[in-house]
Amino acid sequence: MALSGFILLDKVAGETSFKALFPLKRVFCTKRVGHAGTLDLRASGLIIAATGRATRLLPYVEAKDKCYTFRLHLGYETDTLEWDGDVVEQGDALTVSRAALESVLPQFTGDIDQVPPRYCAVKIDGRRASDWAERGKDFEMKPRRIHIESLKVVGEGGITEGCSGKEFATFDIECVCSKGTYVRALGRDIARALGTCGCVSQIRRHRIGKVNVKSAVRGEDLTREHLKSVEQVLDFPVVKLDADQMAVIRKGNWIPWREPVEGAEKQQGRGDDCDRLVFAADADGNVQSVCRYEPGRICPKIYLGEDE
């Protein structure tokens, strides 16, 4: 059976998230790979990929909060909401200070409704919105509820080559947000709150949950030694079971459990269906299953170990 676990990739700008997985297939000799959280073509940064049975856990990874940085270009807007797209609006020159920008950012923290970009992977009548946009079709993007934990300005006045419109100010912003957030749309909406238009560049994802891009590897440098165990990426509590208990879990049955499991109370996360999830490990400490902890028992949910 193929090795199971997570791989932390540092995707380069200009490479699709799908193409970023090619080294995994080669190194681990399997087609059973996947990833959590697609990055735009021109974005860079952390992708958490999985191989083998660990692919079953990707929805839990994708549900984690994420941290990005991006450059906001004020003064023009493009069809893709990226700095080098076709200009659809050129704004008048305005003086926007860092203080003015910081004054509108609180409008975009907490639970907010966001309209995704027209160029995105959201499905409209069975096809990606970007496919319809490229064909010149008229369609409506419906707003989605997202959560922005924090926004802060981390720099200003940066230069990005290849801007297709005339910008009059640039700011670098850090954002911590939920699954489903479009950074390009966030930049558009912040610009509009300032009374102008805008687009973004240099989107980079630095963190997913507790995992930082500093621990990631470029695809060309990937080896089998970079495989991470599931508990190194997901922070579910670990309970150790004896051989008899593990045999019951393996067969899909629950076991009695009278001891409290620290950290298995209502686990924090938005829409990640991770209430009271625990890793069940064998006597050697090897995680074999994801289980749901309930008062008085542990119930199997996803088996990760090898078949007998």
Decide: pTM greater than 0.85: yes
- What's the confidence (pLDDT) of residue 231? 92
Q: Assess whether 113 carries a catalytic annotation.
A: no
Q: Where are the domains of the chain?
A: 5-64+209-232, 66-208, 238-303
* Contact predicate 202/170, CB 8 Å: no
- Structure token pair of residue 258: 């009278």
Segment 155-160 shows an average pLDDT of: 94
Q: 116: exposed, middle or buried (C-beta count within 10 Å: 0-12, 13-18, 19+)?
A: buried
Q: Model confidence over 176-221: pLDDT tens digits? A: 999 999 999 999 999 999 999 999 999 999 999 999 999 999 999 9
Q: Model confidence over 213-244: pLDDT tens digits? A: 999 999 999 999 999 999 999 999 999 999 99
Q: Do 5-64+209-232 and 238-303 agree at the fold level?
A: no
- What's the confidence (pLDDT) of residue 275? 67
Task: Write the CATH number of the domain with boundaries 5-64+209-232.
Answer: 3.30.2350.10
- What's the confidence (pLDDT) of residue 271? 44
Residues 6+ apart with CB under 8 A from 247: none
Amino acid occupying residue 215: S
CATH 1.10.240.10 given to domain 66-208: no
Q: Model confidence over 272-283: pLDDT tens digits? A: 445 689 999 999
Segment 302-307 shows an average pLDDT of: 80
- According to DSSP, residue 296 is labeled E
What is the three-class DSSP state of 132? helix
Catalytic residue among 40, 65, 189, 272: 40
- What's the confidence (pLDDT) of residue 149? 97
CATH 2.30.130.10 given to domain 238-303: yes
Amino acid occupying residue 80: T
Segment 266-270 shows an average pLDDT of: 48
